[in-house]
Structures are given as structure tokens and as C-alpha cells.
């Protein structure tokens, strides 16, 4: 799919390092000296006294194809001076996403619609499922669908098959759009900070099975959803986005589930969009999400 990009000459720079005086000045001066026009700059410090410093800069280059690689190489000196973790990305380089799904299609369909309508600029490279139920829906978009069944006995082989597909297709990140399998530590370690999951409750509330029945029994007044990075700690990875919808005592468990599906779609789509736009940085078990 070819996207209609408005900013062909735009790039982004993400930085994280220990906070100290002079970082913003050094970065801004470097970009100016390399004929870059800063269009947006955001920074955040966890603690002014020895905390971590995070920065996101968007900038334009008139001679993008000639200057972008030069800037990346030239920046190494400043990065070493401040002991930075850093990354340059081009807006023209659309991230490649793999979607994992089981039988429920609401998050999948929402992501595919937003991809097709260019609300989220991402390259949906493939959909992988442990069931065949959604094959026709996926293939109607012209996308590859891979059915990889998972049983207790075949889990190791199934995950290895998925890992091979992901690596062969140069996938940048994975989205679990209601994929009802717990990923092994081996799988998660292959893609650190590159797996986004949607959890069907407002974490840490109602973890585990039957969350909407639990919510109904508790008499909740808000139904929520949490999009987070996957780690080896089940449903406890860094949170990217959360949202809620107001409900009341008249809602049945089924109506709560419908409300939950709506908020799941919203939270997951936002998290995916922010990730593709390089707006998310991880700090310990938290995230910094730049607006």
C-alpha cells in the first residue's frame, strides 16, 4: 500500500540519557548547523537532580535524501558526549506491523480500517492467528493470513514458526489484537519493547478470565482497557494508553462486554498510532508518551 505522505522531508530524533545541563542546546545547535528546521521539540526529565532525560524532535531537511544519513553519522559525537541512547527515523520509512489475533475481530477490524483509510500510517505486513476464523476477513483486504495452531504440546514449534515469519518479513513491531495465548519468555525476549497488547480491563483491575462478569459482580461504574508493552510479567508491562467508558447498574455482563470492546479498540489504536509516530519511550516499567 502506498501512502500519501505530506512531509516527505521530515525526520524524528528520540533521545534518552542521564540529565545534565547543555543537552537541549547541543541538539538544537547540531540540527541548525546541519540545515535542519525543527518543527516540534518535546523533552521530559524524571528528576532535575540526576534523573533521566527524554527528548523527541521532529525536523525537516530540504535535501533529505542527501543529508539524512550524513546527520545520523555526524550525531555520534554528541551522543557519545552525553552517553545517549538515540534513534533517527524517517517519516518516509513506514513501520511494518504484524497482527496476532484469535477469534474476536473488533480490534483487528478497527486497525485494518484505520490502516486502509490512512488514519494510522503503518504497513500491515501480515496477520497471524491460532484459529482460521478470520482468514476471509483478513484476505478481503489483500493481506497475508497465517494460521499457526497452538496447543500445549505444539506451543514451542508454533512460536518458532511465528518468529521465523516475523524475522523473514522484517517486521518492526507486533500487535496482539485479542490474541488469546500467553507468549513464552523466549518469544518476548526476541522482540523487546516491540510487542503491544490490549488488555480487556483497566489494569490492574479484573486480571484473568471473565473480566466482564467480575466487573458486573463488583458493580463497576467505569469499563476500561489498557494497551501496554508485553514483558515476561503477565499483563504488567509498561502502559502506553488507557481509556474508560461510563456504565451503570442497568448494564448486563453482555452489555459491559460490548462497551469493553469499544474502549479496547480506542485504546489499542491510539497506542499503535503513537508507536508508529515514535512518540513512546520506555522508562523502567512506565512510558513517556509525547503529545
- Give yes or no for a contact between 150 and 181, defined as CB atoms under 8 angstroms apart: yes
What is the rounded distance in angstroms from the CA atom of residue 95 to the CA atom of residue 146? Answer: 20
What is the rounded distance in angstroms from the CA atom of residue 77 to the CA atom of residue 170? Answer: 29
Angle between helices 211-218 and 253-276 (to 10 degrees): 120
Angle between helices 106-116 and 253-276 (to 10 degrees): 40
- Give yes or no for a contact between 284 and 16, defined as CB atoms under 8 angstroms apart: no
Smallest CA-to-CA distance from 196 within 243, 163, 172, 228 is with: 228
What is the rounded distance in angstroms from the CA atom of residue 206 to the CA atom of residue 214? Answer: 7
* Active-site residue (options: 60, 67, 105, 235): 235
Active site residue 235: yes
- Give yes or no for a contact between 149 and 158, defined as CB atoms under 8 angstroms apart: yes
- Give yes or no for a contact between 56 and 12, defined as CB atoms under 8 angstroms apart: yes
- Any idea of the CA torsion for 207, 239, 107, 91, to the nearest 10 degrees? -170
Positions annotated as catalytic residues are 235
Amino acid at each position: 500500500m502506498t501512502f500519501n505522505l505530506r512531509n516527505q522531508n521530515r525526520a524524528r530524533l528520540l533521545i534518552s540519557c542521564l540529565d545534565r545541563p547543555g543537552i537541549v542546546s547541543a541538539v538544537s545547535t547540531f540540527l541548525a548547523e546541519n540545515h535542519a528546521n525543527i518543527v516540534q521539540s518535546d523533552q521530559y526529565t524524571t528528576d532535575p537532580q540526576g534523573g533521566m532525560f527524554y527528548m523527541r524532535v521532529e525536523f525537516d531537511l530540504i535535501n533529505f535524501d542527501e543529508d539524512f544519513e550524513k546527520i545520523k553519522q555526524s550525531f555520534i559525537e554528541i551522543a557519545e558526549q552525553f552517553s545517549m541512547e538515540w534513534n533517527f527515523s524517517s517519516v518516509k520509512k513506514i513501520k511494518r506491523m504484524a497482527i496476532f489475533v484469535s477469534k474476536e475481530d473488533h480490534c483487528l477490524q478497527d486497525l485494518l480500517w484505520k490502516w486502509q483509510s490512512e488514519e494510522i500510517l503503518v504497513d500491515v505486513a501480515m496477520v497471524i492467528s491460532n484459529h482460521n476464523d478470520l482468514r476471509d476477513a483478513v484476505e478481503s483486504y489483500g493481506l497475508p493470513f497465517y494460521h499457526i495452531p497452538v496447543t500445549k504440546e505444539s506451543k514451542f514449534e508454533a512460536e518458532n514458526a511465528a518468529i521465523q515469519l516475523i524475522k523473514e518479513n522484517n517486521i518492526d513491531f507486533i500487535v496482539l489484537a485479542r490474541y488469546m495465548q500467553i507468549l513464552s519468555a523466549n518469544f518476548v525476549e526476541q522482540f523487546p519493547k516491540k510487542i503491544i497488547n490490549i488488555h480487556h480491563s483497566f489494569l490492574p483491575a479484573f486480571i484473568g478470565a471473565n473480566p466482564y462478569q467480575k466487573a458486573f459482580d463488583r458493580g463497576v461504574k467505569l469499563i476500561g482497557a489498557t494497551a501496554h508493552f508485553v514483558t515476561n510479567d503477565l499483563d504488567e508491562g509498561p502502559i502506553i494508553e488507557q481509556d474508560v467508558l461510563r456504565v451503570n447498574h442497568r448494564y448486563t455482563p453482555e452489555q459491559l462486554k460490548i462497551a469493553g470492546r469499544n474502549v479496547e479498540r480506542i485504546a489499542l489504536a491510539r497506542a499503535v498510532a503513537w508507536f508508529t509516530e515514535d512518540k513512546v519511550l520506555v522508562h523502567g516499567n512506565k512510558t513517556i508518551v509525547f503529545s
